[in-house]
Amino acid sequence: MTVSVIVPAVNEERHVAAAVGSAWDSGADEVIVVDGGSRDRTCQRAVEAGAQVLVSLPGRAVQQNHGAGEATGDVLVFLHADCLLPADAAVQTEQILADPQVVGGAFRQRIDADGWLYRLLENGNAWRARFRQIPYGDQGLFVRRECFEAVGGFPVVPLMDDVMLARALRRLGRLEILEGPLVVNARRWEKQGVVRQTLRNWFLLAAWRCGVSLDRLAGFYRRHDR
């Protein structure tokens, strides 16, 4: 079973090399960075770290689908550019996928910051992913290639592409949350505040489930991401 790690990136020169390095260290057979129009040295840093670099139109779903289309692995792992895979990620995924009922999953997080609020957030995110079967993209989604292709990949939408993919995959089998941990940069929580960022995420998910359009929610997200 071969593993391809796909890293979507835009202007991530400070983080992308570490993400790529963690992917190689985790046992990946292939690492692909898909650049969505960076104006910094993201592509250079990715090449220096040993990744294959592709260029696509911007948009995380578009970039990840493009990378998946070029990947050769049996298992696809989608890693955000500010995240680090656990050193044994390939072993963890291969072991859990030995069960044919498991179609994919994600990892427990460890947010790279001190404080009890971050530990509470990590546990809450693990609970959401494991028991509600709603892993987010910053938990390192992994999926069998044939299952990813069967559901049509990530839906090309401005928000919720990770949640929508997880919902589609659940129709094919079970999602498992591995112990990891996957290390996540704390920058967005530090910028917005842990409580504010968490409440905003809850609001967006609830509003979407109540039928608010994704375009409208994307506008709200952009206005409040400053």
Beta-sheet pairing, 30-35 with 75-78: unpaired
Instruction: Note whether 171 and 196 are same-domain residues.
Output: no
At residue 17, the pLDDT reads 99
At residue 47, the pLDDT reads 98
Residues across the chain: 226
Q: Does the structure show a pLDDT above 90 at 31?
A: yes
DSSP-assigned states of every residue in 70-118: H---SEEEE--TTEE--TTHHHHHHHHTTSTTEEEEEEEEEESS-SHHH
Whole-number percent of the chain with pLDDT over 90:
80
Tell me which amino acid residue 206 is: A
Instruction: Note whether 155 and 130 are same-domain residues.
Output: yes
Instruction: Note whether 46 and 88 are same-domain residues.
Output: yes
At residue 224, the pLDDT reads 61
Average pLDDT for 99-104: 97
Average pLDDT for 173-201: 91
Instruction: Note whether 137 and 214 are same-domain residues.
Output: no
Instruction: Note whether 178 and 195 are same-domain residues.
Output: no
76 closest CA partner among 66, 84, 68:
68
Instruction: Note whether 12 and 42 are same-domain residues.
Output: yes
Average pLDDT for 146-153: 98
Q: In angstroms, what CA-CA distances link 218 with 48, 123, 157, 205, 215? A: 34, 27, 9, 12, 5
Instruction: Note whether 141 and 208 are same-domain residues.
Output: no
Range of 208's domain?
A: 188-226
**Residue ranges in the chain assigned as alpha helix (H):** 16-25, 42-48, 60-70, 89-96, 116-131, 145-150, 161-170, 187-192, 194-209, 214-223
The three-class DSSP label of residue 18 is helix
At residue 209, the pLDDT reads 86
Instruction: Note whether 71 and 116 are same-domain residues.
Output: yes
The answer to which of 66-80, 162-176, 202-216 has the lowest mean pLDDT is 202-216
Instruction: Note whether 65 and 124 are same-domain residues.
Output: yes
Average pLDDT for 52-56: 98
At 208, the pLDDT band (50, 70, 90 cuts) reads: confident
Instruction: Note whether 195 and 116 are same-domain residues.
Output: no
Report the domain count for the chain: 2
Instruction: Note whether 196 and 177 are same-domain residues.
Output: no
Residue 161 belongs to a domain with what CATH number?
Answer: 3.90.550.10
Whole-number percent of the chain with pLDDT over 70:
99
At residue 142, the pLDDT reads 98
Please state whether the predicted TM-score (pTM) of the whole model is above 0.75. Answer: yes
Instruction: Note whether 77 and 62 are same-domain residues.
Output: yes
